[in-house]
Amino acid sequence: MQLGQRQVLADSDQPWDLIVIGGGITGAGVLLEAARRGQRALLLEQTDFAWGTSSRSSKMVHGGLRYIAQGDVRLTRHSLLERERLLQELPGLVERATYLFPLHKGQFPGRWPMKAVLWLYDFLAGIRDHRYLNRQRLFERVPGLRREGITGAMSYTDALTDDCRLVMRTLLEAARHGGQAINYARVDAVSGEHGQFSVSVRDRVSGESRQLAARTVINATGAWADRLSGSDKRVRPLRGSHLFINPERLPVSDCLTVMHPQDGRPVFVFPWEGVTCVGTTDLDHPQDMDIEAAASAGEVDYLLTLINSQFPQAHIRRDDIYSTIAGVRPVIASGKGVDPSKERRDHAVWGDNGVVTVSGGKLTTFRLIALDALLAAGLINDREHRRSQKSDQPGFTPLQAPAAVEAFLHADQADPAFIDWIVSRESVVHLDDLMLRRTRLGLIHPRAGMDVLERLKPALCQQLGWDDRRWEQELSRYLDIHQRYYGVPAADDNREQAA
């Protein structure tokens, strides 16, 4: 069960049953569900797997309490059942976590409305994990939290994951069923009609171009979906940014939902891979989608304001931030010009000239989104769609790998067996693939993880066949990417200041 080292695009007289465009969680899910059903399927990703939204999310596998508030109980139920499925099938990668929602005197929602919502939340998931914490117990759990006006907190559970590792795990499972996936393979055009498509692909490693034939094409490029959909624009790109903070300066053991003092938006503060993560923002992203999204100085200021208002004794500054990360959410636009945070997070599937496009939705429900795409493409019928939605059949089989791989969440250990396993099986092309996505070493360590890199260099050069010149090229590329798109912009940075 492996992708192996990166494949080279090859000509083939035999058309693919399905070409999936986009290597995020939705594309990976489509590839897996198609390959599982015996389809000869190929996935093409223009940069690296999970390079876009699927390595930059809030890392949460959750039902979405907001959907209950919006009256969408059906979406919440589907999300919660998928959460429970992933917790059962991917232990170590998807882990249950405690969430705390502090309650404030005289502010909605109070204790009893929250209790009613959480009762329904647990009921839909088939568990019972919520409870009330009084002030004393809350401040024992979160000693640095601002105390004014707090009456207690509601405690419940959802789950956390490494979103990029979840994408890779899904691709590995697809490979076990015969699916193929190639990164750094940009699709420039799709022509033809259903049953006979020609897909123009450019290999961004070799520079060569190919024409691939396919009976079916599914465009699962997320925030990039409008480029290849052939229809009117439907996606509203919204940027969300996070800070990764030195855990000694801001220690937390639970996921906290706190309200921003400026606009009342909920923001999460939670432990992740050994650091403290804070986010997210929510604003339109009109910038060039081919340039990596980056947190603006205004977004960093916005999140620092949140932290220091809720943890007044912490005095967190830019120097305490190890790195930042910004992702662009593919939100299906309502067309009503509403505030970004009020746009619904539903997914949509539509077609034009035979190409099926799928975009939007949640990380948690990627399997259900994939089934909807296969239905729209005619690769499964209504009966198979309904059966698969409710199926208890495991979606993932045990991974034959060192124990460190499946449970690798604290990457500061830089386990040699884990690194060797990744390099030999997960299509690593560049150093940033390894440091920012296959692992998060470049995000959860100060100085872009240079201390770890120095230790890894001999083994990496040997495994990847890099000489000293190639190493220096890759190191320079990685550090430039980190500084531009994952670093901490200065307070007077002139880039977009919105939050």
Residue 78 placed within a domain:
no
Distance CA 242, CA 236 (A): 20
Please state, in angstroms and as integers, the Cα–Cα distance from residue 273 to each residue in 66, 93, 368, following that order.
26, 11, 27
Total domains in the fold of the chain: 3
Q: Does this model's pTM top 0.85?
A: yes
Structure-block tokens of residue 490: 């200065």
**Is the same domain home to 135 and 261?**
yes
Q: How far is CA 110 from the centre of its chain?
A: 31
Predicted local distance difference test score (pLDDT) of residue 409? 41
Contact yes or no for 109/395 (Cβ under 8 A): no
Predicted local distance difference test score (pLDDT) of residue 28? 98
Residue 448 placed within a domain:
yes
Distance CA 431, CA 480 (A): 12
* CATH number of the domain residue 299 falls in: 3.30.9.10
Closest listed residue to residue 214, CA positions, set 366, 44, 368: 44
**Is the same domain home to 207 and 347?**
yes
Distance CA 259, CA 18 (A): 45
Contact yes or no for 47/120 (Cβ under 8 A): no
Show the domain range for 280. 96-159+236-332
**Is the same domain home to 422 and 480?**
yes
Predicted local distance difference test score (pLDDT) of residue 154? 97
**Is the same domain home to 252 and 325?**
yes
Contact yes or no for 242/48 (Cβ under 8 A): no
**Is the same domain home to 283 and 134?**
yes
Predicted local distance difference test score (pLDDT) of residue 335? 66
Beta pairing, strands 16-21 & 150-161: unpaired
* CATH number of the domain residue 352 falls in: 3.50.50.60
Give the E-state strand segments of 170-294 in sequence order. 180-182, 185-193, 196-203, 209-219, 235-245, 255-259, 266-272, 275-279, 283-284
Predicted local distance difference test score (pLDDT) of residue 497? 45
Predicted local distance difference test score (pLDDT) of residue 496? 54
Query: Which residues of the chain register pLDDT less than 50?
Result: 1, 409-412, 497-499
Report the amino acid identity of residue 429.
Answer: V
Predicted local distance difference test score (pLDDT) of residue 1? 45
**Is the same domain home to 314 and 190?**
no
Predicted local distance difference test score (pLDDT) of residue 480? 98
Predicted local distance difference test score (pLDDT) of residue 354? 83
Give the position of tokens 């980190």.
482
Residue 69 placed within a domain:
no
**Is the same domain home to 168 and 274?**
no
**Is the same domain home to 384 and 413?**
no
* Residues whose CB is less than 8 angstroms from the CB of residue 462 and which lie 6 or more positions away in sequence, other chains included: none
**Is the same domain home to 252 and 327?**
yes
**Is the same domain home to 244 and 318?**
yes
Residue 495 placed within a domain:
no
Predicted local distance difference test score (pLDDT) of residue 107? 85
**Is the same domain home to 374 and 419?**
no
**Is the same domain home to 413 and 466?**
yes
